[in-house]
Amino acid sequence: MNTPYPSVAFKLFLLVALALTAPIGNFLSVELFYGVEFIFGSIAVFAALTYLGPWAAILVAITGGLQTVQAWGHPIGLFTFTLEAVVVSLLYKRGWQNLVLNDLAFWLVVGIPIIWVAYPAFLGMSAEAVGLLALKQPLNGVFNALAAGILLYGISQVWGSEGRNWAEKSDKLAGLLFHGLLAIILVTGAIPIVLQGHYQRQTLLQDVEQTLSNQAQAIKDRMESSSASATAITSGETDIGTTSMPGFHYYLTDAAGAVLESNTSGAPRPECVNQRQLLLWEPDVDNPIMRAQRGIFCLSQPVEDTRATAITVETGSANYVQTLKHHSTREFLILAGTFSIGLLVAWALSRMVTVSLTRLTRVASETRNGVIVTDPGVRAVWANESFSRISGFSRKDIIGKNPGELLQGPETSTDTIDYMRQAIDQQQPFTVEILNYTRDRTPYWVEINCNPIYTKRGRLEGFIAVQTDITDRKEAQERLQHIAHFDPLTDLPNRELVSDRLRTAMSQAKRRGTMVGVAFVDLDGFKQVNDTLGHDAGDELLKTIATRLSGVLREGDTLGRIGGDEFVAILAILVDLDGRVDLGSALDRLGQAAAEPMVIRGASVAVSASVGATIYSNKTPIDADQLVRQADQAMYTAKLAGKNQFSIDMTDTASDVE
């Protein structure tokens, strides 16, 4: 069962309180049947196990067991108590969190054999008494586990806000139903059995009292009717002996309490003299059953005689206790049968009622997808472990807060956020892909599938959102997009992306009434480098040239590699106050950047660039590919003119160009 998380100070306080409660619980016993008492110290042990862990439970068990040492005069109770805590703790730690079944397993496998072996040897108990105790102890332990389970489930239901939602409650529902049903069945079955036991005990006590009263009255009647002396009665000259019960003794005493006549040696118990109602005197023996077996029932009646003033009658309690033990054994067997049936019924019903909900909750809890449940105000009321793993936010971090306020960040799409808000306001399901941020503000992508939750009456109860981490998929898509649009060697835009960006630039220029320049750059001497130094050296040269050419362009310009040693630059055209186009300076920078010497693989290398350019000025309809071809033709003009220079195609402009 899930439990609250107390502070260290509270844990220490709780440990001390439970350590004190355990011996008190063992001392304040309740008699179930004659000679059979239920003790309640193990309730504190189970509470310590649930909230504080195994070692605390064992410590509390030891303090409770010390009380039995004082009561029984032997440490066998301490040993049994402590071993019970150890075994139940081991089972609990292994994930078997049903205290009732854990404790029942201990008694069936370990506890009952210990009772049969150790209790006769160390406490001198008879086989019948041991059998009764072997029935009592498991029922006592299971009853305490049941009481502890109900108490702890009740506390966990009301402690903290995290448990007040459908998913958290479903984790506890099966256990709560099991404990509740078993308690109802056990209490319902036990009440008539216990009442019957008490009725039988009272009936037997009344029989004993009536028999002793009749014996005393018979002696008095004989004395009064025949004027017989006590000596005559005692010597058997009367027929008193024919009505005597086994182990029966009587004493005639005077006003000072001195024995005048008796059918046995010794004197009556002082407690019995002048005792008008039935009294059970018990010797000072630690074991309660042995105490009762060696006890004496007695009562006293007044006598009208010249010497005697009272007659006290006694009889041993062994027969009475034997009869009660027979009754108790039968009643315990009935109670054990009731418990066994109740255990099976409670387990079956709780499982049948909750199996679907438990399966659903387990799926929600254990799925690799993050799951968040919110209230109608979009405040989180539950989140599973996968959500915490993906986002870095614990359940405690998210409960009571709007998830978006924690998860969204500066690069999260505002359009997606607006779409989600609109769907939530309209109580509509939605699926989106959104960029979220972890607790340490690392961005990650998720796909959110959100659905509203309604009650049977159609009232909105909240929302459930399933989040799938798609960061790897997004990164793979971005890598594919990059590969599709960028040159793998230089990481410059490739021919397709250059064409796309040129079309975009032409559209913007048309709207704004501006111009766009296109420069086609072809390296002079690249083939010689490739042939003499190898292709790896050629690749290194291309990367260096790409960096240099990019470095001389203005912000907003685009440089791309369209193949081999050919580059294309899309240039924003600047026009001076006289209407002259400033294109030549940009082309000069490109040529100079390409012509700077460089060292590749220890060798000094120098290349140059032939640059052709054209201008889009909106005067003639033309497409992007035609512009590139015009720039390409201008580049060949520069090569034919001697290389390492630029040439401008003026087909689409009448402006002066510098």
Domain spans of the chain, in order of start: 8-126, 223-319, 367-477, 486-649
In whole angstroms, give the CA distance from residue 575 to residue 514.
9
In whole angstroms, give the CA distance from residue 305 to residue 233.
15
| Main-chain dihedrals φ then ψ at residue 406, nearest 5 degrees | -90, -35
Residue 567 has pLDDT above 90, yes or no: yes
Best CA proximity match to 445, nearest among 466, 423, 472: 472
Same fold across 223-319 and 367-477:
yes
Per-residue pLDDT tens over the stretch 535-555: 899 999 999 999 999 999 988
Which pairing describes strands 443-454 and 249-253: parallel, antiparallel, or unpaired?
unpaired
Is residue 487 within 8 Å of residue 565, measured between CB atoms?
A: no
Per-residue pLDDT tens over the stretch 340-398: 777 777 777 666 665 555 555 666 666 788 888 899 999 998 888 888 888 999 888 88
Supply 518's token pair. Answer: 């296109």
Residue 165 has pLDDT above 60, yes or no: no
Q: pLDDT value at position 521?
A: 95
Supply 361's token pair. Answer: 């909750």
Name residue 519's beta-bridge partners.
569, 613
Per-residue pLDDT tens over the stretch 130-158: 877 787 788 788 788 877 877 776 666 55
Residue 221 has pLDDT above 90, yes or no: no
| Main-chain dihedrals φ then ψ at residue 405, nearest 5 degrees | -65, -25
Is residue 496 within 8 Å of residue 481, measured between CB atoms?
A: no
C-alpha dihedral sign at 227, 229, 230, 231: negative
Which residue matches tokens 């404990």? Answer: 179
- Could you say which DSSP state residue 217 is in? H
Supply 199's token pair. Answer: 């009725």
Q: Of 3.90.79, 3.30.750, 1.25.40, 3.30.450, which CATH number belongs to 223-319?
A: 3.30.450
CA 409-414-415 angle, 5° bins: 145
In whole angstroms, give the CA distance from residue 382 to residue 374.
7
In whole angstroms, give the CA distance from residue 382 to residue 552.
56
Average pLDDT over residues 556-569: 92
In whole angstroms, give the CA distance from residue 597 to residue 208.
126
| Cα–Cα distance list, 7 to 11, 181, 241, 256 (Å) | 6, 33, 74, 68
Model confidence at 243, pLDDT cuts 50, 70, 90, reads: very low
| Main-chain dihedrals φ then ψ at residue 515, nearest 5 degrees | -125, 160
User: What's the mean per-residue pLDDT of the chain?
Assistant: 81
Supply 629's token pair. Answer: 């071809």
Question: Chain-centre distance of CA 572, in angstroms?
Answer: 62
In whole angstroms, give the CA distance from residue 197 to residue 178.
28
In whole angstroms, give the CA distance from residue 152 to residue 170.
16
The domain 367-477: what is its CATH number? 3.30.450.20
In whole angstroms, give the CA distance from residue 121 to residue 435.
73
| Cα–Cα distance list, 557 to 197, 400, 493, 517, 554 (Å) | 100, 49, 12, 10, 6
Q: How far apart are the first and last CA of the chain?
A: 83
In whole angstroms, give the CA distance from residue 345 to residue 59.
34
Name residue 591's beta-bridge partners.
none
Model confidence at 629, pLDDT cuts 50, 70, 90, reads: very high
Is residue 288 within 8 Å of residue 29, measured between CB atoms?
A: no
| Cα–Cα distance list, 413 to 378, 449, 542, 548 (Å) | 19, 17, 37, 35
In whole angstroms, give the CA distance from residue 244 to residue 420.
96
Between residues 162 and 317, which one has the greater pLDDT?
317
Neighbour count for residue 12 (Cβ, 10 Å): 12
Predicted TM-score (pTM) of this structure: 0.48
- Could you say which DSSP state residue 242 is in? G
In whole angstroms, give the CA distance from residue 39 to residue 92.
22
SS3 for 611? strand
Written as one letter, the residue type at 248 is: F
Q: pLDDT value at position 252?
A: 85
Is residue 173 within 8 Å of residue 380, measured between CB atoms?
A: no
Best CA proximity match to 329, nearest among 31, 36, 30: 36
Q: Which has the minimum average pLDDT: 54-68, 290-304, 589-603?
A: 290-304
Q: pLDDT value at position 241?
A: 39
Q: Domain 486-649 in CATH: superfamily?
A: Reverse transcriptase/Diguanylate cyclase domain (3.30.70.270)
- Burial (CB count within 10 angstroms: exposed 0-12, middle 13-18, buried 19+), residue 191: exposed
In whole angstroms, give the CA distance from residue 429 to residue 449.
8
Is residue 546 within 8 Å of residue 492, measured between CB atoms?
A: yes
- Burial (CB count within 10 angstroms: exposed 0-12, middle 13-18, buried 19+), residue 476: exposed
Q: Of 1.10.645.10, 1.10.1760.20, 1.20.120.160, 3.30.70.270, which CATH number belongs to 8-126?
A: 1.10.1760.20
In whole angstroms, give the CA distance from residue 47 to residue 619.
89
Residue 612 has pLDDT above 90, yes or no: yes
Which residue matches tokens 């805590």? Answer: 85
Is residue 311 within 8 Å of residue 216, measured between CB atoms?
A: yes
Q: Which has the minimum average pLDDT: 88-102, 235-249, 476-490?
A: 235-249
Best CA proximity match to 42, nearest among 94, 53, 58: 58
